[in-house]
Structures are given as structure tokens and as C-alpha cells.
Structure 1
Amino acid sequence: MTRQKMKRKAEETQWRGGWLRWAHACPSPNCEARPALACIDLIVVHSISLPPGEYGGDAVAALFLNRLDWDAHPYYAQIRGLRVSSHFFITRAGKVWQFVDIHQRAWHAGVSSYRGRARCNDDSVGIELEGLEGQPFEAAQYATLQRLCDALRRVLPIRYVAGHEHIAPGRKADPGAAFDWMRLSGHLAGSGLMLPPLTQHTR
């Protein structure tokens, strides 16, 4: 077997269908089939923490699984009944959870538009970082995000990476100004992936 074939086989074995083998799988009911012929060419980076600014709990997973106790914190009254999901969630320690098969449509983008196309849920993969807009992210999260981007682009026609703030400007502001786009850009250099304009100058 040639070195190239060995590399391709190693990349393919990272996946079991649309599920990443090295992620903790926790299937969410908040998903559906993508439109026929959808070209999944966009990664959307988000940030989330529940309650906002509190880390390490299971509230984010509970939200994506429709199991959040709405009375457990005053903030939850603002999002009571919300049904959302993301394909992936990266904890502060760099652990990755997967909630939706990458070939399915997760509910992470909402009203959105990017690279000349609306309804970004149709043809994107959503990655949530445990964090809060304006607060720095951890080195372990960047390392996992980079590894995840690499794994995704091996099995999907990924061409773009953007933040929620870029696909829904004025409505969303995550991952926020503290996210180090230059760090991600440096890792992806030579990959052909396109980041939002000027993000390399945001830090």
C-alpha cells in the first residue's frame, strides 16, 4: 500500500458514517435531512456557555438534547423552550462532543446568509466552543478545532470557515472579538479554506 493510500485510509477511519470516532457521540433529536444536493462547504464557529460565563457543567448538552431544566437558573427563562443543536461542541479542556451526524442538518445558524447563499443550516457544519463572547478561548480548544477542521475537510467539500457573527451580522456576535482567527488561519494556511475577510487582522 502506498503512503498516500495509507494516509487516506487513516483519514477515513476517523469516521463511522457521519460520526467522528474520537468524539463523544450524544445524538440530538434537533436535526433533519439536508436539502437534496446540498453542498456542505462551510464550517460555522460559535461560542456558548450555560449559564453564560459558567463552564464545565452539562447544561449545553442538556440544551441540545431538550433536557435542560428551565427553572435551574434565572437566565434560562430567556431561552425557555428553545430547540437548537450543533454538530460539535468543544469544551474548555478540548474534549469534543458530537450531537448531529455531519450529513444531517443541525439547528445552529438560524436566519443567516454567507457566500451568496441563505439558510446556512442547509449546507454547513456547526462547531460550538465552550466560551463567552469577549472572553479568550483555551489553547486546548484551538488544538481540537484545528484537528476537527482537518478531519471535516477530508470527508466534505469544505471551502469556507466563518463565525456566527459573519453569517448573521447584527443578530449574532459569537465567537466574538477574543477569538483568535489569526491562530486558526495560520494552521489552515495552504489548505485552500477561505476565512472571513479581515479576520486575520482582528488580533
Structure 2
Amino acid sequence: MTDSLSQSEHKIVKGWYSKAEKCESPHFDIREQCLPKDISLLVIHNISLPAGEFGGPYISDLFLGRLDKNAHASFNEIYQLRVSAHCLIRRDGHIVQYVSFDHRAWHAGVSSYLGKSKCNDFSIGIELEGTDNIPYTDEQYKCLAELTQLLKSTYQQINGNITGHCDIAPERKTDPGPAFDWQRYKSLLNTLSGVN
């Protein structure tokens, strides 16, 4: 881990964030119709496994395709899913990266943004460990804002195209939910950008 580095020293190299723990998922593919320079959307999600419980290995196990269906009754319905996000930000701010930002993670599913479907093709997906109705932590907001700022400078087509999973798949998804404070997040981004 490189937490002792200042934020300005963190970087993205070949799609990997230097601050994150690297934990490569098999659940990704190459962006066939989209080069890294064409990545134009950041999608914010939430996840907890089991639902409403934090900590433990289960989110990583799911994204790595090794979730034990016997570890919890609810896992029998999901253990065979082939899903991933680019990053997970845990409650303490620890970041795990599963897929290079240059590659396509399988986080959005059936989705559409501004009339453009298949959001996985052109987006980056960040999971916050949490639920729709439990407040996120200070550390999560700080780390999300820092990562977002770096992503925006690396993948400049993202610019202001930042949305929740609920907005690109409104019939299916509700995350990051009402507990996510969009104003706080945007204020932190403005501070990092030097905007008053």
C-alpha cells in the first residue's frame, strides 16, 4: 500500500491506481468499441455482503468468482454471478481495484446514459461498501473524491459525467441510494479542483 504518499503522488499507470490494493478479477473484457481516451462516464454503486453487513472477504470473493454459496444463505442466489467493478472503497477508505480502468468491468448491466446503452462499454464503476440507507463514511467520501479527480484528469471525457447506478438502470437498481450525499461529494470535488 502507498497510503504514505501525498495525493499528488498517486497516479494511474496502465489503468491501475497506485493507491489501491490490486486484486485482479477474471470478470472483465477488452473495450472493443472504446479506447481509453473514449471512456466518458463514472458510475457510483454500493454493495454489502451479506446485505447490510460490512467487512469480511465476501465482496472480493464475489468479484473474483470464488464466493462460497455455503457461507451465507443469501449467497446461494448470487455465487455464480460473473460481476465486477473497477474499484471498491471500503468503510475505512481502503481501496481495492479489480479491473484496469482501461478494460471493461461488468458492473452496470442493462443500462443507458443520455440515450447511449451498454454503459459498461464506456464507463468506470466504483463500488462503495454500504447500503442505500446507511450513511457513508468520511473516509469513503474523501477517497472517492480523490479518485474521481484523478480519473477526470486521466480520462478527460468523463468531465461532469458522473451518475449513480440508479440513474442508468432505474427500473432495476437503487444504489447508491438516498444515503449518498451528492452535494457533499461535489463540494469535495470542487475543493480538490480549486473551485470555490
User: How does the TM-score come out when normalised to structure 1?
Assistant: 0.85
- Which residue identity lines up with residue 36 of structure 1 in the other structure? Q
CA contact (8 A) 2:48 2:59 kept: yes
In the TM superposition, residue 147 of structure 1 has moved relative to its aligned partner by: 0.5
| Greater displacement, 151-160 / 135-144 | 151-160
User: In the TM superposition, what whole-angstrom CA distance separates every residue of 1:63-87 from its partner, at most 9, and x where no partner exists?
Assistant: 0000110111011122131110000
Q: Give the aligned length.
A: 181
Question: Aligned partners of 2:39, 2:116: CA distance in 1, in Å?
Answer: 12
Distance in 2 (CA, whole Å) between partners of 1:167 and 1:37 is: 19
Q: What does residue 187 of structure 1 align with? A: 188
Q: Which residue of 1 aligns with 2:173?
A: 172
Cα distance in structure 2, aligned partners of 1:14 and 1:188: 17
How far apart are the structure 1 equivalents of 2:34 and 2:45?
25
- What SS is found at the alignment partner of 2:135? coil
- Do 2:68 and 2:79's aligned partners in 1 also have CA atoms closer than 8 Å? no
Matching residue of 1:34: 31
Looking at structure 2, the residues matched to 69 and 37 of structure 1 have their Cα atoms a distance apart, in angstroms, of 34
Equivalent residue for 2:124?
125
1:164 Cα deviation after fit: 0.4
Percent identical among aligned pairs is 46
The equivalent of 2:154 in structure 1 is 155
Separation in 1, partners of 2:163, 2:12: 23
Query: Could you tell me which residue of structure 1 aligns to residue 14 of structure 2?
Result: 17
Paired residues of 2:29 and 2:103 also in contact (CA < 8 A): yes
The code of the aligned residue for 1:21 comes to S
Q: Distance in 2 between matches of 1:99 and 1:110?
A: 17
Q: Structure 2 unaligned segments of length 5 or more: list them.
A: 1-7
- Asked whether the 8 Å contact 2:145–2:185 carries over to 1, the reply is yes
Q: How does 1:23-62 map to 2 (within 5 A)?
A: 23-38=20-35, 39-62=38-61
**Residue of structure 1 equivalent to 2:76:** 77
1:116 match? 115
Asked which structure has the greater CA Rg, the reply is 1
Separation in 1 of the partners of 2:15 and 2:23?
A: 13
Q: Report the alpha carbon displacement of residue 14 of structure 1 after superposing the two structures with TM.
A: 1.1
Measured after TM superposition, the shift of residue 189 of structure 1 is 3.4
- Distance in 2 of aligned mates of 1:132 and 1:21: 27
Partner Cα separation in structure 1 for residue 101 and residue 87 of structure 2: 9
> Normalization by structure 2: what TM-score?
0.88
Structure-1 residue corresponding to 2:141: 142
